[in-house]
Structure 1
Amino acid sequence: MKLSCINKLKYIFATSLDLFDYQRKIITMKQQNTKALFSFGYLLYLILTPLMLNAQSLSVVDSESLEPIPYASVEIYEMQIQSYCDENGVFEFSYLSNTTPVIISANGYKPTSFIYKSGDNNSYDIKLKKSHIFLNEIVVSPTTGLVQKNNLTNVILKKINQADQIMAPNLMELITNVPGVYSINTGSSISKPVIRGLSGLKVVTFWNGLRIENQQWANDHGLNFTDMGIKSVEIVKGPSSLLYGADALGGVLYFTDEDYLPPNSFNSSFESRFESNSMSSFNIARIKLANEKIRFNVYAGYKSAAEYQIPDGEFVKNSSYNRKSLKTSLGYNKNNWILNLRYNYNSNENGLPGHTHSLDPSPEEFLLETQHRDRILPLQLIEDHYLSIENKLILSNQSVIKFNTGFTSNSITEFEEKVTIPGISMLLNNIPYNFSFTSYVNENITWISGVQGMLTKNSNDKAAESSLIPNASSYDLGSYSLLQYSKSKFETQIGLRYDIREIDAGDLLSKNFSKLNGSFGLVFQKGLYTLRTNFSSGFRPPHLSEMLSYGVHHGTNRFEIGSQDLKSEFANQFDISLDYGTEHINFNINPFIIISKTIFMLLLLQIL
């Protein structure tokens, strides 16, 4: 049964991505899938007759004086809309979907949240308590929709593009002040995430639910998108296979875009940033508009940086880069159906510092006395296309269907010795998908089940001098189910997941890997204290690069050698955290232990 499912996926993927004709076929397939999805959603709407929503309102007042709080912020989580009350502290809405968190906040007050449910009263009275200092923010997990106090794992949410935030050379540098999160940098343009000491293929990145694959196995391949239009990043530490799939042994970075405008609004802006060290400039233009049903955001950006300076006054040779970005988001809702269609394009032109052919290099080879923006070899050209389709359909008060899919394309070309012939040129295409069903059995029990996976294909340009990884494909398929029980101050969750991965490189290699993983957690709240404990297991089968790579990689000054004898990597984590929070103090202690069986140590022992 397992092989038949994999073979079907292989056939679909091979048909839709046939070498250089992939773009036309992918676009056609997306159009057909979108039409089918519209028809399916409309049919369910007719059969199940979801509840039509009437106009409702909420009023926000001071908890002591009961005076209205004008222009309080109202964040509607599921629809990614941030709006404001009027001068009387009143907010009216007629477009909310069922079972969505709503966050209310105002300057000088402690924020609060509630879960909107259709069928409730037509008005809500929200009372905010005064607070002269703000320590504990309301955090809603993008993946589970749970408020952080009810989350089984200690999720960290880092806001991006805040008015009081000091900008950084790249996106990763903005989140390295989070405990346990670091970065590996190649110059100022390439930065890779490190979570609890693990990086590369052990850290999985999502953009609005779309899994990003961009040859992250190499140290010179970092996050290729910028902070333009990014609202926040959710950081999950440790093995997280249950909801995020195989590979997430170190953790997960889940980036979420900025909110849409409220209905009948328009906004445009221009932003320019400058950094003196590398003389870099980053210019961003934004346009946002919305009516009652449709919301649209568009961003365009261009960044240029010269070689950066080190403390002795010299400049690091070939560390300059240029970056172009385009991002669009289209949101649509009708009754109990929510659709988000997103596209993100990034083009990076990076110099690769530290390149040498000397057996005994000196520091002077890598430094310059004057600063330049000129292109010199070695040079790395990267293009990324991300297309994301998010769907949510609320069938009744007790069930929700989500279907997310999309397409990612990562093209890397490195010019090492010649400007006309690339040293390597690789194209990585990926179709991820995630179908989930959530049932609110009763006010205490929630059940989530789903199917998740991706279809990945790596191909090489025949014009390149060499190839690090041969033409190959991998197929991931996983199913998961979890049950959450809530009662008063107590929360518990248990879940299981089964994953399959097949790697196919024709006559070179054909292998299957599979594993059952689980997770169990408890949360207990009493007074000012919150105690969390969680056990989770993770699974990471070998990657194409680890099994099939062979050749000189000038971008990292390495000779890559893969091994077809590699086995899967496993990890178990026990995590416990204690939170204590008052109006003036917020304290957290979070010890953990990870027991991992790594494929690299096994290979090293074989070599020795």
Structure 2
Amino acid sequence: MKYFFVTLFIGFSIFTHAQTSLKGTITDKNKNKINDVTVLIPDLHKEVKSDQSGNYQFNNLPSGNFTIIFSHPEFDAVTSTITLNSSEVVHDVILSEEHSHHIDEVIVSTVFNKIQSQNVMKVENKKIKELQQSGAATLAEGLSKIPGVSNISTGTSIGKPVIRGLSGNRVLVYSQGVRLENQQFGEEHGLGLNDSGVESVEVIKGPASLLYGSDALGGVLYFNPEKFAKSNSYSSDFSQKFFSNTLGSNTSFGLKSSSENWKFLLRGGYNLHSDYKIPDGNRVTNTRFEETDFKAGIGYSNNSFSTIFRYNLNNLNLGLPEEIGDNTIKKDPDYPRQGVLNHIASLDNTMFFKNSKLDFDLGFIANDRNEYEDSQIPILKMDLQTFNYDVKYYFPKFKKIETIIGVQGMSQTNKNYGEEILIPNAKTNDLGFLITSNYEFGKNVLQAGLRFDNRSIETETHGEIGEEGYFEAINKKFQSFNASLGYKTSLIDKVTLRANLASGFRAPNLAELTSNGVHEGSNRYEIGNSNLKNEQNIQVDLNIEYGNSHFEFFVNGFYNHINNYIFISPTSDYIDDNLVFNYTQANSALYGGEAGIHLHPHPLDWLHFTSSFESVTGKIENGDNLPLIPANKLNNTLRLEVNSFEWLKKMYFSLNLETYLKQNKISSFETATNDYSLLNFGLGGNINLSKIKFELVVSGNNILNKEYVSHLSRLKNDGIPNIGRNIMVGINFNL
């Protein structure tokens, strides 16, 4: 396989194309020239700005069809599809005054990379900057602000994303275009990503096995890294945030430089927090954490080839909370604690031909996870190394039909070096093949695809039969065919309907197949089941949305039926005073959805009101409730925006009320959660004082200092409340 790809690369690289340029003039409806318009070609990672005469120009471009985005703070964004097939293409654009405050983003997580208005699937796209403005201390906490996304938390440092009631290995996470593998089966194994140097996140809420294979049964979180600097430019920035509750800080510093063909960037981040304080004034012992993050990237492109290499190192040192004990403001975690070192390397290659292209992506992840009980010698030491590849060929467009074929694979090894072993040494290999087509006719889009996957898992024997920590060797193969069918249409002017029917699957993970011991975080003896089958689901999604310059609304509904859903269930047996839990399977269903409005009436363009409601119900076929289903949530936000002061630009003020309803639809080993409401605020803007220019952000979460317990908090069983009032102050400098 390796030699095949090398030969393929060399063979395709001999193709060259005549150089193509794209230029044009940008004006408003009165034919006034507009300068400082950002013009972006996402597929080529190229970006320029219009000059004082409203002119823009790209040189040395490949042939083909490309999406171009024109954006400016004072105008509505315009997205165009351009065909480059001659030496010079001229494309003029007229921008209208901004009313919608909405940019039609290009969706990267779906294979055809359409803008959202053309996409068959409804994908949530959220700028990380917006999540940071909410005052979230970690990336996982910020994700819970997105409708349909929740967070299983252990204090403030450990967070696991939940999409429509599914989490862990049922939610696939991509960073830098690479599938993230970090022992996500564990309840206390967090996301392991830092928001520094991340541009946005895309959320696919539903089975995406057609696109990504196993583990995308519940959905996908796709993190887009920050863009390189504009061609022939240099930039640097510095940001600092302070958090009142945890006496914490978050620092980020970045450098970027780009020529016409080469691009470079460096980014460093540092996070440091004390134990969080609850409303009664006590601190939750050992919720403190320290995080160091480093990112680097280098890219090269010409008229026939583009390649980007990115690297991310994340070093996380965090405490494992057990009680409300000593009230200290120390920041060095006590025992027990975790030390997690994560490396992500990615190589993204695109070769452009006359009317088609080839994407060839490689990724490598090294996850070194250590847990310490009472000394600097780790009692648990797990080394997980994952290599993956993703090859897609985009056929020439035939009339209005676009077709892609692809092959994806993963090779993974897990090794143990500590005294305690949660899962055995193992090798996992994936191989998948897919084909999908997109057909546009009039105001309609039809998309369909088919995929086959094969996963093999091989483990080693360890320990003594009948003793805790004994693992019998297994050699398992899991296979699955999956398909999807999606349809998008405009029912009437500005009303869009999307309907999707898709299947997905998940092969059982190593913990579910092989567990034999006490799970310290849950105080239960877990026994795996080597006879588990694939989880196989089929989900129906409906989305209706309407939008004009004054008002928008959306309604999303879904029904997700899962055969052989894997869950852990208590027995009546005890081993060493720990209740025994077995992994078992049963058919299950989840259903619910999200609905929301956005009101921004003209001429009061400075006024915004948004409201959303989300609900999920999870049932096993015998009538029992599924565990870890988030409570129903109502979210209301009032936001004011002002841009009329010379020394203060893009000023905003927001007031937010999050209401969580009572959750009493619980599994046999959960406890119910009462309803509660949290009041939050935010304000900020760009400040220009002589030669000093910076962005100021202030936010307050739980400003009424409400004592509450989230249903998805892992500290709930110990009666430990969530974090109290927390004020964040941040400054961002473009140097």
Q: How does 1:124-523 map to 2 (within 5 A)?
A: 124-135=91-102, 137-144=104-111, 145-162=113-130, 165-354=133-322, 365-397=323-355, 399-416=356-373, 418-461=374-417, 464-506=418-460, 508-523=473-488
Q: Is the Cα contact below 8 Å between 2:20 and 2:85 reproduced in 1? A: no
Task: Give the letter aligned to residue 140 of structure 1.
Answer: I
1:591 equivalenced with 2:547 (yes/no):
no
Q: Percent identity?
A: 35
Q: Is the Cα contact below 8 Å between 2:349 and 2:361 reproduced in 1? A: yes
Alpha-carbon distance in 2 for matches of 1:67, 1:302: 45
Alpha-carbon distance in 2 for matches of 1:233, 1:553: 32
How far did residue 213 of structure 1 move? 0.3
Q: Secondary structure at the match of 2:141?
A: helix
Task: Give the letter aligned to residue 93 of structure 2.
Answer: I
How far did residue 478 of structure 1 move? 0.6
Alpha-carbon distance in 1 for matches of 2:143, 2:170: 18
Alpha-carbon distance in 2 for matches of 1:538, 1:420: 43
How far did residue 107 of structure 1 move? 2.4
Alpha-carbon distance in 1 for matches of 2:234, 2:524: 51
Alpha-carbon distance in 1 for matches of 2:550, 2:334: 54
Task: Give the letter aligned to residue 549 of structure 2.
Answer: E
1:84 equivalenced with 2:84 (yes/no):
no
Q: Is the Cα contact below 8 Å between 1:111 and 1:138 reproduced in 2? A: no
Q: Secondary structure at the match of 1:546?
A: helix
Task: Give the letter aligned to residue 508 of structure 2.
Answer: P
Alpha-carbon distance in 2 for matches of 1:481, 1:133: 36
Alpha-carbon distance in 2 for matches of 1:384, 1:492: 40
How far did residue 260 of structure 1 move? 0.8
Change (3 A) 1:406 1:141: closer
Q: Is the Cα contact below 8 Å between 1:154 and 1:577 reproduced in 2? A: yes
Change (3 A) 1:600 1:132: closer
In terms of fraction of residues, the more strand-rich structure is 2
Alpha-carbon distance in 1 for matches of 2:296, 2:568: 44
Task: Give the letter aligned to residue 407 of structure 1.
Answer: F
Which of 560, 572, 576 is the aligned partner of 2:526?
A: 560
Q: Is the Cα contact below 8 Å between 1:295 and 1:332 reproduced in 2? A: yes
TM-score (norm 1): 0.88
Change (3 A) 1:41 1:513: closer
How far did residue 319 of structure 1 move? 0.7
Alpha-carbon distance in 1 for matches of 2:339, 2:519: 15
Q: Secondary structure at the match of 1:122?
A: strand
Task: Give the letter aligned to residue 159 of structure 2.
Answer: S
Query: Which residue of structure 1 lines up, in the alignment, with residue 727 of structure 2?
Result: none
Which of 50, 53, 65 is the aligned partner of 1:99?
A: 65
Q: Which runs of 5+ in 1 are unaligned?
A: 1-8, 13-31, 355-364
Change (3 A) 1:224 1:605: closer
Alpha-carbon distance in 1 for matches of 2:92, 2:196: 36
In terms of fraction of residues, the more helix-rich structure is 1
Of 557-566 and 441-450, deviating more is: 557-566
Q: Which runs of 5+ in 2 are unaligned?
A: 462-472, 570-582, 587-667, 669-735
Change (3 A) 1:579 1:111: same
Q: Secondary structure at the match of 2:84?
A: coil
Task: Give the letter aligned to residue 511 of structure 1.
Answer: K
Deviations 1:48-68 (A, max 9, x none): 33x222333121111x21211
Q: Is the Cα contact below 8 Å between 1:108 and 1:132 reproduced in 2? A: no
Alpha-carbon distance in 1 for matches of 2:73, 2:378: 55
TM-score (norm 2): 0.73
How far did residue 559 of structure 1 move? 3.2
How far did residue 556 of structure 1 move? 4.3
Of 466-475 and 109-118, deviating more is: 109-118
Of 228-237 and 266-275, deviating more is: 266-275
Figure out how many residues of one structure are paired with residues of the other and give that number. 558
Q: Is the Cα contact below 8 Å between 2:545 and 2:555 reproduced in 1? A: yes
Change (3 A) 1:586 1:95: farther
How far did residue 351 of structure 1 move? 0.1
Q: Secondary structure at the match of 1:58?
A: strand
Of 523-532 and 513-522, deviating more is: 523-532
How far did residue 246 of structure 1 move? 1.1
Query: Which residue of structure 1 lines up, in the alignment, with residue 493 of structure 2?
Result: 527
